[in-house]
Structure 1
Amino acid sequence: MSPARTKDELRIFTPVGQLGQGWSEQIFWDTLDSGVDAIILDGGSTDSGPGRLALGKPNVPRSRLARDIGMLVQACHTHNVPALIGSAGGDGENALVDMCIDIVQEAVKANGYRPMKVISIYSEIPDDLVRQKLKTDLITPCGTAVPQLTEHEITTSTRIVAQMGLEPFLKAMQDNPGFDIIVGGRAFDPSPYAAFCLYHGFEDMGVNYAMGKIMECGGVCALPKSRESLAIVRHDNFDILPCDIKARCTEVSVAAHFLYEKTRPDIIHGPGGALLLSDTTYEQIDERTVRVRGAKYKPEPEGQYTVKLEGARVNGYNTIVLGAMRDPILLSQLDSWIASIEVMVAERCSGIDFELKIHKYGVNGVMGPLEPDTTTVPKEVFVAVQAKAATQDEANEIASAAKLGLTHMPYPDQLATAGNFAWPFTPSEVPMGPLAKFCVYHIMHEVDRTALFPIKVMDFHGNNSFVAQPRPVKTIQPQTVTDSAGKGLANPKKYYLTPKPAEGTCYLADIASVVRSKNSGPYELTFDILFGDQATYKKVKETGILTRETIAKLYHIADEDVIASLFWDQAMAYKATIRRPAVSGGFGETDTHGSQQHVPLLYIKMPFGRERAS
């Protein structure tokens, strides 16, 4: 049953940042026992690449979804608390929404829960509508790194989903005030949070969306990052605290979360408007809780509502081969030797239309064309071969030819004539099936904010025989969070970067509390550099070293490919975002998640010693 709609505060509980990843049962039930108004959580994202959307697969096994959803249904029964889910199953396609609904129904019947009103909201968009909008110039790329949409990409997409805003969730609640569970398709991450607040009369959309943007990741904004989090929402502010007593939020850790996986931290675009964060303030209320004020929301003009479209398609078939090489004679001439293998494969397989990538992990395998240092000869190199062709048999043939070359292609001054390649698995050629590719990541303009997203209401009839068993009481002792963690976002660290910086200088890694990279959607990479104290942050900022030009030079890209470059005083941070060298998860990918592209930043030299940084 939905809680009463006359409240001065709302307590919203998020047990994990992604449905299906699991959470602590003790924290889950203890938090519910303390009193919450709703359980709200997100189900997915584009982080894992295009495979799920193109192939219709959930982001976690069904059994893991059943475990999490089963506990949500039990909470609805025992605590009369509603649950809202966005982006069900990972990409939020209709079939995965229905799968989650089936799990709810199974849980109600199998466990003897009370009857429940369950709502599904769907987000797949008809191709014809997308074509119509394209013909009337009402579809634009989502960012400068995204190409223009074409008729071909629409036609070949397995499916296209739209990120719904808060309005479908709000309509579902308004039309069905006795609801228990809402399972939504692809949604803007904060949408169900903002909708629940608005439904209960909390009309400051800056507060609602800012709270939802933090909460959708669970306790990632805490120190150390954790799973479960609680928001206490008021009409002009909200509090954030982790539910795990071993973690806490700080002003900096919460402010820094608005940097996370976004192009820039001061403005976050979503369906129908933008969240503006330049004037946001953060106040430490107690050791574990931060209060957030001042976020603003700017809606789009009436009649100009927009949604983001996401689509993916099958792009041939691929086969991989995995192995390694350690011979120093070979490794000293690896690039030219790999080139000779590529020529050999092209000659042997001239009748096949194919692509071949041989990734060299240990040289530039992780960073690919962004790698700044390719001069060092490593001790050993791990090789990942990816062969792509129109059919699986053809991809297998290409991979087999490449594996033959890796094993037996000669090279100058060779001593080890028995073979060059150590592979751990047999058969060594591993068919991977269809290869997916993002092809739609665009903004659709002038749309109806609710009509695109059909709503279905179901009554699941349980016999109400379930009786909750007493849970054993466990005591968790709080752990002291170190002072250094309280100042910044990391514990004290010892870096062993080589070569050591010259006397009177230091590396950025020596003085930063966080240096990270992450996808900002499939077409962008974003970098965050955070500092643990104002003195260090100010000193770095005053050097003028962290600039757009520095990022472009470091990553061997054009200045115009640096999409954002700015300092963010609220989190004592520098942010840069660049065009991705390859669309996330496509053929030739080296780092789908984008989380290992930060290393060159660690070696940026500062013109002062580490001891003088603070």
Structure 2
Amino acid sequence: MDTVRVLAPSGMLGAGWDHATIERGIALGADVITIDAGSTDSGPYYLGSASPKTAAEAVARDLRSLLTAAAGADIPVIVGSCGTSGTDRGVDWVAGIAAEVLAEEGLDLAVARIYSEQDAAGLKEHLGAGRIHPLPPLGELRAETLESCTHIVGAMGHEPIVDALRAGAQVVLAGRATDTAVAAAYPLLRGMPAGPTWHAAKIVECGGQCTSNPRAGGVLATIDAGGFTIEPLDPAVSCTPLSVAAHMLYETANPFEMREPAGTLDVRDARYTAIDDRRVRVEGSRFHVADQYTIKLEGARITGYETVSFSAIRDPGILADLDAWARLMRTMITQRVGQTLGLADGDYAFDLRLYGHNAVLDELEPETGPPREVGVMLLVNAPDQATATAVAKVANPLLLHLPTPGMDYLPSFAFPFSPAEIERGAAYEFVLNHVVDCTDPAELFRTELGEKTRA
């Protein structure tokens, strides 16, 4: 193939789009449809619990749009990081929804599921052999950390996806994958050069984010031997050299480099040229193959159980010296919990956040002066749910009536809901930011062809 056209409808499966933009991409000659379905942006809960952040109905709606269009054009569909975090359960969840859509639409497409979840025992063997290395800011990995994780995934490169396509898959549902691998796989399979392919994949990973109106739909990237061209799928939207080049700043530590399992994309010499008022041509991108192929690990574990309360303050006497009130609140909660529940500081933890007063930027907040109103959020973490809720209940009267030392009356604040305590369940933290040295790009992954009912 002299060119490969990659249609990227959105930055995430389940986000939604106008199906007309998909039809336009097909009319422009799309050779493959690719979309990411996951991220770590929303925190460790989705990996730790193997739960999706998207609604099944939204995923079904988007899959219907993609699968019917792809079937009509006889082109493949590739979905990466299924179920938000790319766990095995997430892949099966998306596969089940896809099976229902295919059945309802009367479509018969070969579906491949690529599983990326890792077993702690197997990883401990890699660790013992010296094949696992930390990425900053984490240090050397301990076997106990692997054992503490509820779920661990490896972020695959393009190779397992290519293998699935070669095996005849028309729909590839992948576990955790790099965002760019999802879009790079088909062009690389068809012989496109690595530099333009990986750069184009980076630009299209978030759909229309590289355009003048990110809400209007996705983009089409046309990759060839000398570079790539990118254009929006909505005729009223534009790509500019600035909007395209700027996406290399997105989620990268270095705006000129981006590491993939197989090597590093280098865009130092890339040139961005406007073809017209809507399309941009990019040339000069390079890809440096790494001496060692590596797979990044992501893992999450439970850190305790959380209960949250929320109150609102508009009393000018409190707001005049809110920091002093917050210090008193922290002291009073600690004292009351010790007196009532007999808990010491190490038995639980809590966070008091003042929304409307430095809750976002803390000491970096440039604005000064008392706020007009403030939302007070109490977040309690304890080894079990009952203890977290008990601490929040002890704090309840303080969140409703605590005066400052200088006040001669009892103020009243406002809880926005009843009961005032909401149990959030298990809380998780990311504990893995490490890579595994691999001799085979597919050795940590498992591929299955065939139907799978929804998990």
Q: TM-score when scaled to structure 2?
A: 0.94
Q: Offset at 1:344?
A: 2.2
Q: Offset at 1:142?
A: 2.2
SS at match of 2:35: strand
Once the two structures are superposed, residues 579-608 of structure 1 have per-residue CA deviations (whole angstroms, 9 ceiling, x without a partner) of xxxxxxxxxxxxxxxxxxxxxxxxxxxxxx
Partner of 2:121: 128
2:153 equivalent to 1:161: yes
2:324 equivalent to 1:343: no
2:233 equivalent to 1:273: no
Partner of 1:172: 164
Partner of 1:356: 350
SS at match of 1:286: coil
Unaligned segments of structure 1, at least 5 residues: 1-6, 461-614
2:377 equivalent to 1:379: no
Amino acid at match of 2:186: F
SS at match of 1:109: helix
SS at match of 2:85: coil
1:346-495 pair list within 5 angstroms: 346-350=334-338, 351-352=342-343, 353-368=347-362, 371-373=364-366, 376-414=369-407, 416-419=409-412, 421-458=413-450
Partner of 2:43: 49
SS at match of 1:385: strand
Looking at structure 1, the residues matched to 411 and 286 of structure 2 have their Cα atoms a distance apart, in angstroms, of 67
Partner of 2:294: 306
Q: Specify whether residues 134 and 367 from structure 1 end up closer, same or farther in structure 2 by C-alpha distance, changes over 3 A only.
A: farther
Contact 1:329 1:413 in 2 (8 A): no
Q: Offset at 1:298?
A: 0.9
Amino acid at match of 2:312: A
Contact 2:158 2:185 in 1 (8 A): yes
2:198 equivalent to 1:224: no
Q: Offset at 1:373?
A: 4.2
SS at match of 1:219: helix
Amino acid at match of 2:281: R
Partner of 1:540: none
Equivalent residues, number: 445
Q: Specify whether residues 459 and 76 from structure 1 end up closer, same or farther in structure 2 by C-alpha distance, changes over 3 A only.
A: farther
1:100-115 pair list within 5 angstroms: 100-113=94-107, 115=108
Contact 1:363 1:374 in 2 (8 A): no
Amino acid at match of 1:435: A
Contact 1:239 1:290 in 2 (8 A): yes
Once the two structures are superposed, residues 313-361 of structure 1 have per-residue CA deviations (whole angstroms, 9 ceiling, x without a partner) of 1111101111221222212222222222222222232333110100011
Amino acid at match of 2:117: E
Q: TM-score when scaled to structure 1?
A: 0.70
Is the helix fraction higher in 1 or 2?
2
Amino acid at match of 1:308: K
SS at match of 1:378: coil
Looking at structure 2, the residues matched to 228 and 456 of structure 1 have their Cα atoms a distance apart, in angstroms, of 29
Which of 164, 185, 189 aligns to 2:179? It is 189
Partner of 1:560: none
Misfit runs of 4+, over 6 Å: none
Amino acid at match of 1:348: R
Partner of 2:24: 30
Looking at structure 1, the residues matched to 232 and 440 of structure 2 have their Cα atoms a distance apart, in angstroms, of 37
Q: Percent identity?
A: 34
Contact 2:77 2:172 in 1 (8 A): yes
Q: Specify whether residues 447 and 382 from structure 1 end up closer, same or farther in structure 2 by C-alpha distance, changes over 3 A only.
A: farther
Looking at structure 2, the residues matched to 289 and 373 of structure 1 have their Cα atoms a distance apart, in angstroms, of 40
Contact 1:165 1:271 in 2 (8 A): yes
SS at match of 1:87: strand
Q: Specify whether residues 340 and 199 from structure 1 end up closer, same or farther in structure 2 by C-alpha distance, changes over 3 A only.
A: same
2:306 equivalent to 1:324: no
Contact 1:94 1:124 in 2 (8 A): yes
SS at match of 2:249: coil
Amino acid at match of 1:229: V
Once the two structures are superposed, residues 256-286 of structure 1 have per-residue CA deviations (whole angstroms, 9 ceiling, x without a partner) of 1100121120111121211111111101111
Amino acid at match of 2:289: P
Amino acid at match of 1:43: A
Contact 2:183 2:201 in 1 (8 A): yes
Q: Offset at 1:136?
A: 3.3
Contact 2:306 2:381 in 1 (8 A): yes
Contact 1:116 1:459 in 2 (8 A): no
Q: Offset at 1:228?
A: 1.0
Looking at structure 2, the residues matched to 379 and 147 of structure 1 have their Cα atoms a distance apart, in angstroms, of 45
Amino acid at match of 2:386: D
Unaligned segments of structure 2, at least 5 residues: none
Amino acid at match of 1:9: T
Contact 2:154 2:177 in 1 (8 A): yes
